[in-house]
Chain A
C-alpha cells in the first residue's frame, strides 16, 4: 500500500533526469529556477542545522574533550576509557540490557497475540478493545510512573494487597535492590504495547483473504493458518516493532527518575539516567557526551543485528 507512491515518485524522477539531460541545464540555472523550493525548505533547514545537525557533530567533538569552564581541552580517548572502566557504566549497561531482553520480546509477542485475538472480532468490539489497549500509550509516562509507585507502595499498595490473597508476604518492591529492577520490568510488561497492537492490526488487514481460503481448502486448522500464513507475512511489522521497542527500551528514563532515581544503590541505574546524572548533576559534559555516543553505537549495533536476523530467514 505504502509502496505505491514511492514507485510513482521514482518513475517521475527518472523521467526528470532524462528531461534534464536533454535540456542540458546547468546546476546553477536549476537552482535559480527552483529558488522557491529552497525558500520553502529554509525554516526547517535552519532549525535542523542549528538544533540537530550541529549538536550531533558537537556531541562527537565533545566526547573527545575534557570540559572546563573556560575553554575545554582535547582529551583524546580519555572519556571513552573512563566510560568503559567505570563500574557505574557497566551496571547501567547490564540493567538496561536485562530490561530490554525481557520487556521487548514480551511486549512484541503479547501485542501479536492480543491483536490476533482482536482481529477476528466485529467492528465495534475491535475498536473498543483497540482503544482500551492504546489509551495508556497516550498518557504521559510521568503519570504512569506516579501511579505505579503508588501501586507498589509497601503498606497501602494494590500489589501487596493482591499478593496477600495468595498468602504471599508483602514485598518492598521499589525499596530493595533484589526486586527494584524486576518491579520496573513487570510494570513495563503490564503496560500494553499499544503501538504494536495498532500496527499489527493494520498489517493483518492487508493480508489477502485468498491465502486463508486456500489453506482452509487444504484442511489447515486456524492455528496452523495463523502459524504459517499470518506470522510469516507479519514479519516486516515484527521487525519494525522489535527495532522500535528496543530503541525505546535502551532509552528508558522517566520511570527510573520518577520511581527509584536509579536506586536503591545502583540497582535500577540505566544508561540514559546515568548520562543525565553525569551531565546535569556532576557537570562532566565530556564524559556524558562519550556515554551518549556509546549508547548510540550500542543501539546502532543492535538495530543492524536485528535487521540481519529477521531478514535472513525469509
Chain B
C-alpha cells in the first residue's frame, strides 16, 4: 500500500502534534507508575523534618528517589576517597532507605493487604473464562459457519440479537438468579455469566468461514469423527482468530468491575479492580499505595498488549461491522 507522501515541513508538524497527543494520552499511566515509586519519606542531614514527595506541591514529575539515590551514591564514593568512614556509612544507610521507601508500598500491598490474593483471583478467573470461551465459542462458531441443520439461522440470529441489549438490562435478574442458585459471593457467580457472553460466537463464526471446505471433506473422507475433525483440523487453522478472541476475553474479564462489585462480599474473594475500589474507599490508603495497586493491576495488561499487539488489531478489525 502506498502512502500519501508528506513533504518535510508537514511531516515535522505532524510528528510534533502526534507526539504531544501521545504524551497527553500516556500521561495518566506514567503518573500511576511515577507516583507508585515516589519517595514518601526522606530526611537528609540538613533537613529539619522528613519530606514526602508523593503529595508535594508542585507535583514531582518523576520518582525523586532516583536523583537522591545517585547523590548519596556519589557522596559515599567521595567519603570513601576522603577516608571518612562515618560519612560513608551515612550515605550507605540513606541509599538503603531510599530503595526501601521506593518499593515500600508494593511490599505493603502484599503484606498488609490482600493484593496477592486479589491478583491470583483475577488471574485464575480470567484464565478459566478465557479457556472456556475459546472452547465453547469455537465449537458453536464452527457448526454455525460450516454445518447446515434445521434451526441454524434461528439460533444464530437469536444469539446475535442479544449483542444489541446493554448488559445493565440483565443485571437485576441475573443477580436474583445467582442468589437463588446460592452462588452469591462465590467465583462461580463471575465465571458462569462471563462464559455466556455471545460476542465470541459471532467472531468465531466469521473466522471459520475462511477455512476451506475441502479440508473438512478430506478429514471426513479419512474417517475422522466430527470431534476429531474439529480438534485436529479446524482449531489449528483458527489459531489467529482464537488468539484475538482469547486476548479480548482475557482483557474484559481482567478489567470487569460492575458485576464483581455486585456479587462479591468477602475480601478474600475480590478481584483486583474490586479490591482497589475498597482500598480507595477505605481512605486510609495513601496515594502512593493506591497507585502501586493500580500499577499491579495495569502491568499484566500492558505486558499482554506488548506481546500480542497484532492480535489486538486483528480482533478489533474482525469484530467491527464493515459494510
**A interface, CB within 8 angstroms of B:** 1-3, 5-6, 8-9, 12-13, 16, 27, 30-31, 33-34, 36-38, 40-41, 43-45, 47-48, 50-56, 58-59, 62, 114, 117-122, 125, 127, 129-136, 138-144, 146-151, 153, 155-158, 161, 164, 190-192, 195, 198-199, 202-203, 205, 209, 212, 222, 225, 236-237, 240, 247, 250-251, 253-254, 257-258, 272, 275-276, 279-280, 285, 288-289, 292-293, 295-296, 299-300, 303
Q: Are B170 and A5 in contact (CB under 8 A)?
A: no
Q: Which residues of A contact B67 (CB under 8 A)?
A: none
Roughly how many angstroms separate A139 CA and B27 CA in the complex, as a whole number?
A: 13
Return the contact of A190 from the options B3, B24, B175, B196 (Cβ within 8 A): B24
Residues in B neighbouring A212, C-beta threshold 8 A: 4
The residue that A120 contacts in the complex, of B3, B167, B173, B322, with Cβ under 8 A, is B3
Cα–Cα distance between A202 and B310 once the two chains are bound (Å) = 12
Say yes or no: is B321 at the interface (Cβ < 8 Å to chain A): yes
B111 proximal to A (CB < 8 A): no
Hey, which chain A residues are within 8 Å of B276, CB to CB?
Answer: 142-143, 146
Interface flag for B39 (CB, 8 Å) = no
Residues of B near A134 (CB, < 8 A) are 305, 312
Closest chain-B Cβ to A245's Cβ sits at a distance in Å of: 13
In whole Å, how far is B253's beta carbon from the nearest beta carbon of chain A?
11
Instruction: Determine which of A47, A190, A205, A240 lies in contact with B136 in the assembled complex, contact meaning CB atoms within 8 Å.
Output: A47
Asked whether, in the complex, the Cβ of B57 is within 8 Å of the Cβ of A161, the reply is yes
Q: Do A62 and B173 have beta carbons less than 8 Å apart? A: yes
| A132-B26 CB under 8 A given contacts A44-B136, A59-B169, A288-B172 | yes
B1-21 Cβ-contact flags toward A at 8 Å (1 or 0): 111111000010011011001
* 5 A-B pairs (CB sep. < 8 Å): A34-B148, A44-B139, A158-B31, A236-B321, A289-B172
Please tell me if B131 contacts chain A, counting CB pairs below 8 Å: no
Taking the complex as formed, is B105 at the interface, i.e. its CB lies under 8 A from any CB of chain A? no
- Contact check, A199 vs B226: say whether CB atoms are below 8 A apart: no
**Per-residue A-contact encoding for B174-206, CB less than 8 Å = 1, 0 else:** 111100000000000000110110100100001
CA separation between A48 and B234, bound complex, in Å? 23
Q: Which of B304, B305, B320 contacts A199 (CB 8 A)?
A: B320
Given contacts A47-B195, A117-B17, A139-B301, contact A258 B277 (CB under 8 A): yes
Determine if B32 and A198 form an interchain contact, defined as CB atoms under 8 angstroms apart: no
Chain B residue contacts of A135, Cβ below 8 A: 25-26, 29, 302, 305
Residue of A nearest to B144 (CB): A41
Q: Is A119 a contact partner of B3 (Cβ separation < 8 A)?
A: yes
With A34-B147, A161-B57 given, can you name 20 additional A-B contacts, CB distance below 8 Å? Answer: A5-B206, A5-B210, A37-B149, A41-B143, A43-B140, A48-B159, A54-B173, A55-B170, A55-B173, A114-B21, A117-B17, A135-B25, A136-B29, A140-B272, A142-B273, A146-B32, A147-B32, A158-B59, A222-B4, A295-B166
Q: Is B284's beta carbon under 8 Å from chain A?
A: no
**Once the chains bind, are B196 and A50 in contact (CB under 8 Å)?**
yes
- Rounded to whole angstroms, the CA-CA distance of A67 and B313 in the bound complex is 45
B interface residues, how many (CB within 8 angstroms): 102
Measured CA separation A14–B213 after assembly (Å): 16
Partner of A138, one of B22, B25, B301: B301
What distance in Å separates the Cβ of B323 from its nearest Cβ neighbour in chain A? 5
Closest CB-CB distance, B37 to chain A, in whole Å?
14
- Contact flag A300-B322 (CB < 8 Å), given A156-B59, A209-B2: no
Tell me which residues across on chain B come within 8 A of A276, comparing CB atoms. Answer: 171, 258, 262
Identity of the chain A residue whose Cβ is nearest the Cβ of B293 in the assembled complex? A146
B residues within 8 A CB of A119?
A: 3-4
Of B136, B142, B166, B272, which is in contact with the most chain A CB atoms at under 10 Å from its CB?
B166
Whether the pair A34, B149 counts as a contact (CB closer than 8 A) is yes
Task: Give the residue of B35, B251, B301, B312 whose beta carbon is less than 8 angstroms from that of A150.
Answer: B35
CB distance from B183 to the nearest CB of A (A): 11
Interface flags for B133-173 (1: CB within 8 Å of A; 0: not) read 00011011011110111101001001100101111111111
**Which listed residue, B14, B136, B227, B255, touches A142 by the CB 8 Å rule?**
B255
With A2-B322, A150-B290, A237-B322 already in contact, the answer to whether A138 and B312 are too (CB < 8 A) is yes
Is the pair A53, B26 in contact by a Cβ cutoff of 8 Å?
Answer: no
Chain B residues with Cβ under 8 A from A250's Cβ? 166
CB of B230 closer than 8 Å to a CB of A: yes
Q: In the assembled complex, which residues on chain B have CB atoms less than 8 Å from the CB atom of A202?
A: 313, 316-317, 320
Contact with A along B299-313 (1 / 0, CB 8 A): 001101100010011
**How far is it, in angstroms, between the C-alpha of A142 and the C-alpha of B295 when the chains are bound?**
11
Contact B6–A120 (Cβ < 8 Å): yes
0/1 string, B84-120, CB within 8 A of A gives 1: 0000000000000000000000000000000000000
Cβ–Cβ contact B31 & A147, under 8 A = yes
* Cβ of B224 under 8 Å from chain A: no
Q: Give the Cβ gap from B88 to chain A, nearest Cβ, in Å.
A: 36
* Known A121-B14, A254-B257; contact A143-B316, beta-carbon cutoff 8 A: no
B59 touches A114 (CB 8 A): no
A140 touches B255 (CB 8 A): yes
Report the minimal beta-carbon distance from A145 to chain B, rounded to whole angstroms: 9
Contact (Cβ within 8 A) B280 A56:
no
Report whether B175 and A280 are in contact in the complex, using a CB–CB cutoff of 8 Å.
Answer: yes
Task: Indicate if the CB atoms of A236 and B169 lie closer than 8 Å.
Answer: no
Q: Which residues of A contact B32 (CB under 8 A)?
A: 143, 146-147
Contact across chains for A140 and B57 when beta carbons are under 8 A apart: no
A205's contact among B1, B55, B297, by CB below 8 Å, is which?
Answer: B1
The 10 closest A-B pairs by CB, nearest first: A5-B209, A34-B149, A58-B173, A55-B170, A51-B196, A47-B196, A55-B173, A140-B255, A132-B22, A44-B140
Contacts A150-B287, A190-B24 given; indicate if A56 touches B209 (C-beta within 8 A): no
B291 interface contact, C-beta 8 A: yes
